């Protein structure tokens, strides 16, 4: 075992205040999966949680996790071949590198190994947590479909399994708050194993021995006292992203972030701690992206209540300040939201920083089918007029109101204003969109051509050739709101290997330091493979990190 008295990063004479085989930092799903796994091997476990509540963002989430080749698929005789799945993951994660003829599909060795680990260890992680009774999994059902919704990218040729990789824990349904069942099961399990979960304990730094191995952490208790906690096998960080640190967000993300649904304690602590320990970092420009109405983001300091996931409505478009469409409005939220970050090299500005969602009276006044109210948001329920809504009796009046609203918010948009040609351009855009809707084919962005888009746009009127598109009514009123980029949390940070070990610039593991979830450079790279990519990554690499830290303790570290 490494000698703690050689520790160069803390007073060698100082005593340990607390000790466990495995120390976990953060009580979201990555941390809880690590803790449960280590405890299941009979190891003593200490979980430090900075917030007052246990469960992080995970407990608030809809609780779905994406797991290829899972046991429910296999039981149903549905094959999810490794090679196809890796190709699918690699193509979406690293589109500019992807090369199907290469041994690593064109990816650097470690990034490829992470995809392999996700595929190889995912089902193992789910099965283990199920066997020990911490998380009882099943297919994630949706409405009356037991296997749930189609994959977000079911149409991509490499994707051989359009249904069945979305899993959910028992209890509840796939909607916000389902995470309570996910985290609740693990909490109960940890209590039975006598694992300690301490809230209001913020980990501040690592304690390392003379060889650089991580042997513990410094943690502030609720009274502000700094404690030294010994970790005999290792420390697993699972402390979420940095979306609530404005300095880090501004420094790293690829564009302006207006809000995050993550818990406000996710301030990138591990990014600073691991960089100081020599970890290499990646994916820092990325987050799990979405969109939100600008005014909602501005009025809500801290945690954002919700995002626009699956834009509602058939006679509905999104345009930029030039009045032109710039994205397939029905594309998955993570991909669609990245349209905001396009830089105009001629005008030297981000002309899509604010997009304007516009729809007609029919969409505004037609209630959604039963059960779809959450998908309808942020289009307000029929008859409601929240402050962020902009209404005009004619397109000209709407354009004027949008211009005035943008003007009043210019301090928050880098001074964006509608282009002088906005109204005629918008009229042309709508005319062109109406033609596409009549013909059932969106020649500009291919809207409504994937199972995912069709799934989230149930027909709200008869007679459409493409249920996601209907011509705008010729007379108003028309409605609009301003949309800006937001996220679930960031997904860049220290790099890990396939064993969830944090690695340095030469891909060498830092002994005793493991991590998973949103605090690391996501194994998914730039992709959101489908619903459940974030919890899937957190659960799988949390499990792997917890297992390896436990094994290290067993071997006497
Ligand atoms: C409404 C909603 C629905 C969602 N639905 C889904 C879904 O269905 N599927 C999906 O994949 N994703 C979903 N997400 C996103 C998902 O919840 C997160 O990406 C995921 O839960 C992150 O897990 P994590 O363990 O990495 O981090 P978190 O769950 O955010 O946990 C990190 C924890 O670390 C703690 N912490 C931070 N710093 C320290 C420190 N220094 N010391 C100690 N503790 C620290 C934080 O307080 C926090 O509790 C949803 C999110 C929301 C808000």
Residue-wise pLDDT for 241-285, tens only, equals 999 999 999 999 999 999 999 999 999 999 999 999 999 999 999
Residue nearest to atom 38 of ligand 1 (CA): 239
Q: Is the CB of 532 under 6 A from ligand 1?
A: yes
**Distance in Å, CA 210 to ligand 1 centroid:** 33
Residue nearest to atom 14 of ligand 1 (CA): 61
Tell me the pLDDT tens digit for each residue of 338-348.
Answer: 999 999 999 99
**Distance in Å, CA 30 to ligand 1 centroid:** 8
Q: What percent of the chain has pLDDT over 70?
A: 97
DSSP 178-209: THHHHHHHHHHHHHHTT-EEESS-EEEEEEE-
Q: Is the CB of 510 under 6 A from ligand 1?
A: no
Q: Is the CB of 68 under 6 A from ligand 1?
A: no
Does residue 8 register a pLDDT over 50? no
Give me the residue spans of the domains in the chain.
4-9+22-216+227-232+244-284+491-554, 291-487
Does residue 4 register a pLDDT over 90? no
Q: In the CATH scheme, what is the code of domain 4-9+22-216+227-232+244-284+491-554?
A: 3.50.50.60
Q: Is the CB of 106 under 6 A from ligand 1?
A: no
Q: Which of the four pLDDT bands, split at 50, 70 and 90, describes residue 419?
A: very high
Q: Which residues have CB under 8 Å from 441's CB, separation 6+?
A: 465, 466
Q: What's the distance, CA 362 to chain centroid?
A: 33
- State the chain's mean pLDDT as an integer: 95
Q: Is the CB of 218 under 6 A from ligand 1?
A: no
- Note the residue count of the chain: 557
Q: Which two tokens stand for residue 295?
A: 């005014």
**Measured distance CA(53)–CA(35) in Å, rounded:** 17
Q: Is the CB of 51 under 6 A from ligand 1?
A: yes
Q: Which residues have CB under 8 Å from 113's CB, separation 6+?
A: 497, 498
Q: Is the CB of 183 under 6 A from ligand 1?
A: no
Pocket test for ligand 1, best of 122, 535, 539, 545 (most atoms within 8 A of CB): 535
**Distance in Å, CA 240 to ligand 1 centroid:** 6
DSSP secondary structure code for residue 214 in this structure: E
Residue nearest to atom 50 of ligand 1 (CA): 61
**Distance in Å, CA 28 to ligand 1 centroid:** 5
Q: Which two tokens stand for residue 33?
A: 């999966």
CA 194 to each of CA 216, 248, 489, 510: distance values in angstroms, whole numbers, following the listed order: 20, 37, 31, 29
pLDDT at 118: 98
Asked which of 10-14, 309-313, 371-375, 527-531 is least confident by mean pLDDT, the reply is: 10-14
**Measured distance CA(319)–CA(63) in Å, rounded:** 32
Q: Is the CB of 307 under 6 A from ligand 1?
A: no
pLDDT at 305: 85
Q: Which of 506, 490, 497 is nearest to 545 (CA)?
A: 497
Mean pLDDT of 500-517: 98
Tell me the pLDDT tens digit for each residue of 360-374.
Answer: 999 999 999 998 988
Q: Is the CB of 62 under 6 A from ligand 1?
A: yes
Residue nearest to atom 37 of ligand 1 (CA): 239
The dihedral sign for the CA sequence 317, 321, 324, 330? negative
Q: Is the CB of 395 under 6 A from ligand 1?
A: no
Does residue 111 register a pLDDT over 50? yes
**Distance in Å, CA 55 to ligand 1 centroid:** 7
**Distance in Å, CA 234 to ligand 1 centroid:** 22
Asked which of 7-16, 154-163, 432-441, 444-453 is least confident by mean pLDDT, the reply is: 7-16
Q: Is the CB of 30 under 6 A from ligand 1?
A: yes
Task: Name the 3-class secondary structure at 403.
Answer: helix
**Distance in Å, CA 435 to ligand 1 centroid:** 43
Q: Is the CB of 220 under 6 A from ligand 1?
A: no
Mean pLDDT of 413-420: 96
Does residue 407 register a pLDDT over 80? yes
Q: Is the CB of 142 under 6 A from ligand 1?
A: no
Residue nearest to atom 16 of ligand 1 (CA): 58
Q: Which of the four pLDDT bands, split at 50, 70 and 90, describes residue 298?
A: very high
Does residue 187 register a pLDDT over 50? yes
Q: Is the CB of 378 under 6 A from ligand 1?
A: no
pLDDT at 172: 77
Q: Which residues have CB under 8 Å from 221's CB, separation 6+?
A: 198, 200, 201, 227
Pocket test for ligand 1, best of 57, 222, 242, 522 (most atoms within 8 A of CB): 57
Tell me the pLDDT tens digit for each residue of 23-63.
Answer: 999 999 999 999 999 999 999 999 999 999 999 999 999 99
pLDDT at 56: 98
Beta bridge partners of residue 227, listed in sequence order? 219
Does residue 378 register a pLDDT over 80? yes
Task: Tell me which of 90 and 557 has the higher pLDDT.
Answer: 90
pLDDT at 12: 44
Task: Tell me which of 231 and 2 has the higher pLDDT.
Answer: 231
Mean pLDDT of 79-86: 98
Q: In the CATH scheme, what is the code of domain 291-487?
A: 3.90.700.10
Mean pLDDT of 131-136: 97
Q: At what angle do helices 109-131 and 533-554 cross, to 10 degrees?
A: 80
pLDDT at 10: 53
Pocket test for ligand 1, best of 37, 48, 55, 58 (most atoms within 8 A of CB): 58
Q: Is the CB of 63 under 6 A from ligand 1?
A: yes
**Distance in Å, CA 305 to ligand 1 centroid:** 14
Mean pLDDT of 404-422: 97
* Ligand 1 atom showing the smallest separation from residue 491 Cα: 19
Q: Which two tokens stand for residue 344?
A: 């105009």
**Distance in Å, CA 536 to ligand 1 centroid:** 12
Q: Residue 299's CB: how many other CB atoms inside 10 A? A: 10
pLDDT at 128: 98
Residue nearest to atom 21 of ligand 1 (CA): 58
Q: Is the CB of 236 under 6 A from ligand 1?
A: no
Fold match flag (4-9+22-216+227-232+244-284+491-554 vs 291-487): no
Q: Is the CB of 533 under 6 A from ligand 1?
A: yes
* Ligand 1 atom showing the smallest separation from residue 239 Cα: 34
CB 382 within 8 A of CB 367: yes
Residue nearest to atom 4 of ligand 1 (CA): 61
Q: Is the CB of 244 under 6 A from ligand 1?
A: no
pLDDT at 6: 40
Q: How many Cα atoms sit within 13 Å of 493 on the Cβ side?
A: 31
pLDDT at 269: 98
């Amino acid at each position: 075992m490494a000698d703690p008295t050689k520790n160069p990063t803390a007073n060698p004479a100082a005593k340990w205040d607390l000790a466990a085989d495995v120390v976990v930092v953060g009580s979201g799903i990555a941390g809880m999966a690590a803790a449960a796994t280590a405890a299941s091997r009979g190891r003593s476990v200490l979980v430090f949680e900075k917030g007052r509540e246990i469960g992080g963002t995970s407990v608030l989430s809809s609780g779905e996790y994406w797991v290829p080749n899972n046991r429910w698929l296999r039981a149903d005789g549905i094959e999810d071949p490794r090679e196809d799945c890796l190709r699918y993951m690699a193509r979406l994660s690293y589109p500019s590198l992807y090369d199907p003829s290469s041994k690593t599909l064109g990816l650097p060795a470690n990034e490829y190994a992470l995809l392999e680990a996700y595929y190889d260890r995912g089902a193992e992680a789910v099965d283990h947590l199920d066997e020990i009774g911490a998380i009882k999994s099943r297919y994630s059902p949706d409405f009356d479909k037991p296997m749930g919704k189609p994959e977000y990218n079911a149409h991509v040729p490499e994707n051989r399994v359009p249904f069945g990789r979305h899993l959910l824990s028992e209890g509840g349904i796939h909607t916000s708050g389902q995470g309570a069942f996910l985290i609740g099961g693990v909490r109960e399990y940890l209590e039975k194993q006598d694992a300690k979960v301490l809230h209001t304990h913020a980990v501040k730094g690592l304690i390392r021995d003379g060889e650089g191995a991580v042997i513990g952490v410094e943690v502030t208790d609720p009274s502000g006292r700094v404690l030294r906690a010994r970790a005999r096998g290792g420390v697993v960080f699972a402390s979420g992203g940095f979306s609530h640190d404005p300095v880090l967000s501004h420094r790293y993300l690829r564009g302006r972030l207006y809000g995050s649904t993550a818990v406000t304690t996710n301030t990138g602590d591990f990014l600073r701690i691991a960089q100081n320990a020599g970890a290499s970092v990646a994916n820092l420009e990325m987050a799990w992206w979405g969109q939100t109405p600008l005014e909602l983001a501005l009025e809500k300091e801290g945690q954002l209540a919700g995002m626009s996931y699956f834009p509602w409505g058939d006679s509905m478009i999104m345009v930029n300040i030039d009045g032109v469409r710039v994205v397939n409005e029905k594309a998955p939220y993570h991909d669609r939201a990245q349209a905001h970050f396009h830089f105009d090299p001629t005008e030297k500005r981000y002309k899509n920083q604010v997009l304007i969602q516009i729809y007609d009276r029919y969409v505004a006044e037609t209630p959604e089918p039963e059960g779809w109210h959450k998908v309808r948001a942020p289009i307000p329920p029929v008859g409601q007029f929240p402050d962020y809504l902009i209404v005009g009796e004619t397109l000209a009046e709407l354009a004027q109101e949008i211009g005035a609203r943008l003007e009043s918010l210019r301090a928050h948009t880098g001074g964006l204003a509608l282009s002088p040609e906005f109204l005629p351009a918008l009229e042309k855009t709508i005319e062109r969109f109406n033609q596409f809707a009549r013909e059932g084919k969106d020649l500009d962005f291919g809207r409504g051509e994937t199972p995912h888009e069709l799934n989230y746009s149930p027909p709200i009127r008869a007679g459409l050739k493409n249920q996601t598109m209907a011509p705008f009514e010729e007379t108003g009123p028309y409605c609009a709101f301003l949309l800006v980029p937001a996220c679930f949390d960031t997904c860049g940070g220290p790099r890990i290997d396939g064993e969830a070990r944090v690695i340095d610039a030469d891909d060498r593991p830092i002994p005793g330091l493991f991590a998973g979830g949103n605090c690391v450079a996501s194994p998914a790279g730039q992709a959101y493979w489908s619903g459940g990519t974030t919890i899937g990554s957190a659960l799988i690499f949390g499990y792997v990190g917890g297992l390896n830290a436990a094994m290290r303790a067993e071997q006497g570290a």
